[in-house]
Structure 1
Amino acid sequence: MLHKNTAPSLTQKLYRADQVKHLELEAAAKVGVSKFELMQRAGKAVFERCVSFMPIAHNYLILVGVGNNAGDGYITALNAVNAGKSVVLCAIDPSREVVGDAARAQKAWLDNGGKVEAFDIKMLERCDLIIDALLGIGIVGIIRNEFADVIDAINNSQVPVVSIDLPSGLDADTGESLGRCIQADMTITFIGIKLGLTTGAGKQSCGKLVFEDLGIGKAFAELARSDANALDIAHFKGLAPRPVHSHKGTYGRLLCVGGNAGMAGAIRLSAEAALRSGTGLVKVFAHESSKVQISAGRPEIMVTTSGLDEALEWATCIVIGPGLGQDDWAKATYDTVLHYCQTHPKPMVIDADALNIMASTAAFINIDDCVMTPHSGEAARLLSVSIEEVENNRFIFARQVAERYHTTCVLKGAGTIIDDEQNSWVCRHGNPGMATAGMGDVLTGIIGSLMAQSVETHLACQYGVSLHAKAGDIVAESQGQRGMLASDLFDTVRMLINE
């Protein structure tokens, strides 16, 4: 049994931009805070985070637009100047009028002796830190050329960038770039974490994501329905202690199907990952020519190349896909497994080439307890859309896979998304060093292992994804991202699952 912490922090919840836009003032009113006071709190928080991020930076370049995001920028500038920093504040169009609380913040800056200057690319050579307050969550459509040119100049500079609320040019809901997008080193977001900041290109654009609720987070959470939750390994207490009176059969029998000729490595990684995650017995059904490569050096893995029906009957959970291929042997094996699982329901994980075979057939599958683990290319094939479409709206397409195939979808990538048709979760952990061969096979083995150990499917996916990604972060921290191998995660996964 998997134990999950029952008191999640506010930062677990993710929201759409329109929810934050329409409910933040109501939430503020509930706790007696005005809109301008929120702006003051935001500017103060940004400056304090900037000091923590780059304590020796003295020359700040702050770029503002005309909305509330600009108001946060003006207040940040005031805090910086009052703390002794040198600040240059630029607007894309200094003559354009700002209104509302942003105008009040601008007046406070000007009354303090500040100036609003036009942007000059040479300013980038004279600053230690850029603060991006150009465009906020209200932007729709492709950004105008004058903003695009400034964003290009910032991205081409070597100066660290802190974005206020979200990187300018990013769609707050999807993480899609609206023509151009700031590539920030840190993003400080307010009130509620927006969906688009947590996955795909949005996660890349944000850099380090920092959350500040400005003192109204609890009130906001009471008003807004969360569309998804962020996953952190700290949210799980882990597996229950094992009883003394147990045996290897107590902890599941996992069958891993794959390993076609010349592709033994993928299924070997899945099988060993399952063993390292605590499954009592792991068996691989593979092509005859792969038997030696799979079992060599890991005698604990049972390997068979015949008697697939008997192996399916033996298993308590089934993994299919890693190294399966798409030839006649692969398709015949796939058909046997899918037919068996439709008539003898068992938990199963479908990955890799099994997904590709599925996408190429018109046959509809109906398996009660099924997980599918596509990357964006496989998801695109399953849904007959482009990879770009999937990457530009990962939450939507993860839900579409889940609904079309009545499955739990694990959409892999930066900010892996889990969707079970009703709820979505996104993983906080992971790093670019994990973009290497075999990482997905290891994840598949971990999820299959947890399901074989009778962990509920949605929890097996949440915990498995978090374990896998956190293990990658620990390995990267100690040994670096470049050169990381999928098998490097085994010892760390074992350590984490025993904590």
Structure 2
Amino acid sequence: MTALPTALYTAAQTRELDRLAIAAGTPGAALMQRAGQAAFNALCERWPEARHIAVLCGGGNNGGDGYVVAALAHDAGLQPRIHFLKSPDSLSGDALTMAERCRALHIPMQPLSVEALPVQADVLVDGLFGTGLSASLSDEAARVLTALDALIVPRLALDIPSGLSADTGMPLGAVLRADLTCTFIGLKRGLLTGQGPVYTGELQFADLQVPRDVYQQVPADCLVPTPTALLASLPPRRLDGHKGRYGHVLVIGGDHGFAGAPIMSAQAAARCGAGKVSLITRPEHVVMMIARQPEVMARGVNEPAQAQSLIEAATVIAVGPGLGRDDWGKGLLELAMSSGKPLVMDADALNLLADMDNVGAADWVLTPHPGEAARLLKADSAAIQHDRFATLESLHARYGGTVLLKGLGTLVQGDAGRALITEGNPGMASGGMGDVLTGVVAALRAQGLSGYDAARFGAMLHARAADSCARDKGELGLLATDLLEALRLNLKIESLKVERN
């Protein structure tokens, strides 16, 4: 196994990589053998005491991989038993070859059904449905997967947990949850977003020795950014630098009773390197802001027009946290949108945007959670989550700029590409996390990053800060304000990057 790659592919793209590898001279049987060997090695490492191995085989290459695992288990002195959904006699190609090898080794084989489950196994090896599955399962197949999932037996999935869409990360009726998934040739995007991480368990990757030039022929569908790339994208700090060099973030929000959201955004912007941070809010919230973070310049306004001078002075405007949807919030949003300044829009700014006509293609970063995305697209939240990639594409096509779709496996899309964020933890499911993210993205944008870079690296930095907090004190009770110092610590290497000429 190798480290997880940063390039993600759809199921169709992975099949093309497979085809190109075979065309380049690697026989399909060799790829199948390598996949089975990689999976068997992972099985032995994860469950070294396992002896009774139940190998679940469907048709096609996924089942063929399973037959290879069974043969390897037999050769290692273990006791494999094959449970097939499709009779080995009806297979073809490389899968048939591997099944015949197992038959020659006298490995026990039997049909798999709800009435005949491998209840005595030490480990289940799932080779039932691979990445070719794109439509909902038949009722019988769903019943089988549901019955298997109820067994209290460790599971190893070959390439992808059966029943999970490789493209969306959503169940196709039922899913056999894995404790460990070994995926091959191309890292499937659905394993990392939607509900993919819920069903995948530990994820390992094997490229099966596919030549590098094969990957160059199939552009990745999506990329996973790295911390190194984050630091490389930030402009170096000069020895003679001053606050004017690092941007002025203006946060707008906090209608009556909603002071906390914009205050957290402003604090996050300050902690992520913005040279100056200002806040426009209701007058009664100014003292609260100064008490929490005196470095932030707070101005209270009752009329949107009173904000004009600060809007003109800003480098980037973060608008939406606690903004409300009344005339005060609407007026401030209209001023921000007409300013021509780069925008980071969240919360009520998105809800107000959803009711506007003839908008789009602005220099902005939109940061919706699924509910806000549903309002922006006039859809329901279930449809939004059913295919997060399709949602992302629709939002970008409709509104332009950069879109950051929050959730498990946060997605970012701009004109420069598409990214998926793998960091983060369930402790982030608490109020105010999105407000902090808004400030993070705005601070990075103010320091010279493009909207796309600020969004993808801001989302990664935000999630890494949350992971740092969870490692130190656990996920339960994690608060948005806990991230403020962790954000700074996750950027501390940047302090060593000093421009000396």
Structure-2-length-normalised TM-score = 0.91
2:37 maps to what in 1? 44
2:331 maps to what in 1? 332
Q: SS of 1:63's equivalent?
A: strand
Which residue among 463, 467, 476 is the counterpart of 1:473?
A: 467
Q: SS of 2:80's equivalent?
A: strand
The answer on 1:359 being equivalent to 2:354 is yes
Which residue among 192, 199, 205 is the counterpart of 1:205?
A: 199
Q: Which amino acid aligns with 1:379?
A: A
Residues paired across the two proteins, number: 485
* Cα shift at 1:88: 2.7
2:411 maps to what in 1? 417
Which residue among 389, 393, 402 is the counterpart of 1:395?
A: 389
Residues of 1 paired with 2:469 and 2:133: CA distance? 39
Which residue among 53, 59, 62 is the counterpart of 1:66?
A: 59
- Deviations 1:112-144, CA, capped at 9 Å, x for gaps: 120112336785542332221110122232112
1:175 maps to what in 2? 169
2:190 maps to what in 1? 196
Q: Which amino acid aligns with 2:105?
A: N
Q: Which amino acid aligns with 1:158?
A: I
* Cα shift at 1:215: 0.3
Residues of 2 paired with 1:184 and 1:274: CA distance? 39
- Deviations 1:77-124, CA, capped at 9 Å, x for gaps: 222232233323211354762221111111111211201123367855
2:285 maps to what in 1? 290
* Cα shift at 1:158: 3.4
Residues of 1 paired with 2:242 and 2:314: CA distance? 16
Which residue among 95, 104, 124 is the counterpart of 1:111?
A: 104
The answer on 1:134 being equivalent to 2:128 is yes
Residues of 1 paired with 2:249 and 2:465: CA distance? 22
Distance 1:41 1:393, change over 3 A: same
* Cα shift at 1:326: 1.5
Does the aligned pair in 2 maintain the 1:431–1:473 contact within 8 Å? yes
* Cα shift at 1:380: 1.3
Could you tell me which runs of 5 or more consecutive residues in structure 1 were left unpaired when the two chains were aligned.
1-8
Does the aligned pair in 2 maintain the 1:137–1:172 contact within 8 Å? yes
Residue pairs, 1:337-356, within 5 angstroms:
337-339=336-338, 341=339, 345-356=340-351
* Cα shift at 1:219: 3.5
Residues of 2 paired with 1:47 and 1:81: CA distance? 11
Does the aligned pair in 1 maintain the 2:56–2:126 contact within 8 Å? yes
Does the aligned pair in 2 maintain the 1:252–1:453 contact within 8 Å? yes
1:457 maps to what in 2? 451
* Cα shift at 1:277: 0.6
* Cα shift at 1:375: 1.0
Residues of 2 paired with 1:69 and 1:131: CA distance? 11
Worse-matched range after superposition: 223-232 or 162-171:
223-232
Q: Which amino acid aligns with 1:466?
A: M
Could you tell me which runs of 5 or more consecutive residues in structure 2 were left unpaired when the two chains were aligned.
494-501
* Cα shift at 1:463: 1.4
Residue pairs, 1:483-494, within 5 angstroms:
483-494=477-488
Q: SS of 1:356's equivalent?
A: helix
Which residue among 68, 71, 75 is the counterpart of 1:75?
A: 68
The answer on 1:257 being equivalent to 2:252 is yes
The answer on 1:11 being equivalent to 2:8 is no
Distance 1:106 1:14, change over 3 A: same
The answer on 1:145 being equivalent to 2:144 is no
1:6 maps to what in 2? none
Q: Which amino acid aligns with 2:479?
A: L
* Cα shift at 1:211: 1.6
- Deviations 1:306-335, CA, capped at 9 Å, x for gaps: 231011012111100111122232222222
Q: SS of 2:157's equivalent?
A: strand
Distance 1:16 1:217, change over 3 A: farther
**Percent of pairs with identical residues:** 37
1:228 maps to what in 2? 222
1:156 maps to what in 2? 150
Residues of 2 paired with 1:424 and 1:209: CA distance? 22
2:298 maps to what in 1? 303
Which residue among 46, 61, 83 is the counterpart of 1:90?
A: 83
Does the aligned pair in 2 maintain the 1:10–1:217 contact within 8 Å? no
Residues of 2 paired with 1:366 and 1:18: CA distance? 30
Residues of 2 paired with 1:272 and 1:57: CA distance? 52
The answer on 1:315 being equivalent to 2:309 is no
Residues of 1 paired with 2:51 and 2:466: CA distance? 35
The CA RMSD measured in Å over matched residues stands at 2.1
1:5 maps to what in 2? none
- Deviations 1:183-229, CA, capped at 9 Å, x for gaps: 22222111111222221122322223222110005243122122221
Q: Which amino acid aligns with 2:458?
A: G
Residues of 2 paired with 1:320 and 1:393: CA distance? 28
Distance 1:124 1:328, change over 3 A: farther
Does the aligned pair in 1 maintain the 2:88–2:99 contact within 8 Å? no
Does the aligned pair in 2 maintain the 1:232–1:428 contact within 8 Å? no
